[in-house]
């Protein structure tokens, strides 16, 4: 049975009309699900019996199941979610000042194969459906209300979990429409960030995507180093990537964020700073340094704190907006894809 969460509101209205139902019920249904988080269809008091029967007969309101969750000493919560077919994905909730951000997955595994990434070692199993992407956020919204506090609210979304979101373009686009929809979750455009490894043909399609923040996983401004870290750079090197980036429609005063994983002796040298400055436009770029989060078996190391600080200050001194993102949840297997691997290896949480 198809998931009701696969639909955008517009699609649901069209489906209702094509089955002889009232299209306005789509708004009411969205309100019950995404605003009131009420999944018991019997409670949908303003929805007609006829529409409810149609929904019950044709669509599922099943959400992924939380099979494990852990809270880090820094407040980060990590969840392992089981999908309908038994596959598992990870999602992480990160508190910061007045924000509560969910980092969501877009695929089971990933085809991109970045050499620093645990998920990259797993290969791609499948894309998530639009309903599974939307359902991840809905599930955690409900879980937090029930298990933390009735007023606990997720405020931001980053597509930085498992998978390359632009590889699953259509489903991620539909879920994003639901996250932004005033009758859906109603998040602001600036509260959602999509991070891509640099899938050039899909970056060129972003003019047709809801206008959210875009982050590019750069990790090196040198082709040879970037190819070593991200095999996608062989197909879409820096020249092609930056030509595509120029086509991204940017609203006034908005900038592209460049994610830069800092790895000891690999991309943390003075020549790497020089290469970055040659490549990036000061006014249109923000650099987010992420010290590499070592995991068991990883071949890379984190630079010293002194080197991380130097790298940031040197970019700031040259007029770039550059910050360091501290790694979160180290004590709960926070590396992307690590939790899923441990679960599959030993069924840790059975
Ligand atoms: S870093 Fe992202 S794009 Fe690269 S392999 Fe991991 S999940 Fe895929």
CA-113 nearest atom, ligand 1: 5
- Find the 167 Cα to ligand 1 centroid distance in Å: 11
- Find the 117 Cα to ligand 1 centroid distance in Å: 6
Q: Tell the residue nearest (CA) to atom 4 of ligand 1.
A: 114
Question: Which of 125, 161, 164, 195 to mutate for ligand 1's pocket (most ligand atoms within 8 Å of CB)?
Answer: 164
- Find the 270 Cα to ligand 1 centroid distance in Å: 26
- Nearest-Å Rg of the Cα atoms of the chain is 21
Look up the ipTM and state it: 0.99
What phi, psi does 262 have (nearest 5°)? -90, 120
Strand, helix or coil at 315? Answer: helix
Active site residues: 90, 336
Task: Sketch out the chain's domains with CATH numbers.
Answer: 2-60 (1.10.150.530), 65-346 (3.20.20.70)
What phi, psi does 97 have (nearest 5°)? 45, -120
CA distance 216 to 206: 13
CA distance 126 to 109: 7
CA-197 nearest atom, ligand 1: 3
- For ligand 1, which residues put their CB under 6 angstroms from it? 110, 112-114, 117, 119-120, 162-164, 197, 336
CA distance 64 to 23: 28
Question: Which of 105, 109, 110, 228 to mutate for ligand 1's pocket (most ligand atoms within 8 Å of CB)?
Answer: 110
Q: Check: CB of residue 344 under 8 Å from CB of residue 82.
A: no
- Over the chain (350 residues), what is each successive 10-residue block's mean pLDDT? 97 97 96 97 96 96 96 92 96 92 95 88 94 98 96 95 96 98 95 96 95 95 97 97 91 82 96 98 92 82 96 97 78 52 42
- Find the 46 Cα to ligand 1 centroid distance in Å: 44
- Token look-up 């000493």 returns 73
């Amino acid at each position: 049975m198809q998931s009701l969460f696969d639909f955008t509101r517009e699609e649901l209205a069209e489906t209702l009309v094509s089955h002889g139902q009232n299209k306005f019920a789509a708004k009411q249904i969205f309100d019950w699900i995404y605003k009131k988080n009420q999944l018991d269809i019997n409670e949908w008091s303003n929805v007609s019996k006829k529409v409810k029967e149609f929904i019950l007969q044709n669509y599922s309101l099943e959400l992924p199941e939380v099979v494990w969750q852990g809270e880090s000493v820094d407040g980060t919560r990590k969840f392992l979610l089981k999908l309908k077919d038994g596959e598992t994905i990870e999602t992480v909730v990160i508190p910061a000042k007045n924000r509560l951000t969910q980092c969501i997955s877009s695929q089971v595994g990933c085809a991109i194969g970045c050499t620093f990434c645990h998920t990259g070692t797993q290969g791609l199993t499948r894309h998530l459906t639009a309903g599974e992407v939307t359902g991840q956020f809905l599930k955690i919204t409900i879980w937090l209300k029930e298990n933390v506090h009735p007023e606990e609210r997720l405020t931001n979304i980053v597509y930085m979990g498992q998978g390359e979101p632009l590889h699953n373009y259509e489903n991620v686009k539909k879920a994003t429409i639901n996250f932004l929809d005033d009758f859906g979750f109603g998040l602001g455009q600036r509260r959602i960030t999509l991070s891509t490894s640099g899938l050039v043909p899909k970056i060129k399609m972003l003019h047709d995507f809801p206008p959210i923040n875009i982050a590019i996983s750069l990790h090196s401004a040198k082709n040879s180093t970037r190819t070593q870290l991200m095999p996608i750079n062989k197909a879409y090197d820096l020249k092609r990537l930056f030509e595509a980036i120029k086509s991204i429609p940017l609203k006034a005063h908005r900038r592209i964020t460049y994610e830069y994983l800092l790895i000891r002796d690999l991309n943390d040298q003075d020549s790497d700073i020089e290469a970055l400055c040659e490549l990036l436009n000061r006014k249109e770029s923000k650099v987010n340094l992420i010290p590499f989060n070592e995991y068991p078996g990883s071949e890379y190391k984190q630079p010293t704190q002194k080197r991380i600080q130097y790298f940031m200050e040197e970019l700031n001194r040259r007029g770039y907006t550059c910050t360091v993102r501290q790694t979160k949840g180290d004590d709960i297997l926070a590396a992307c894809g690590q939790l899923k691997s441990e679960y599959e290896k030993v069924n840790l949480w059975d």
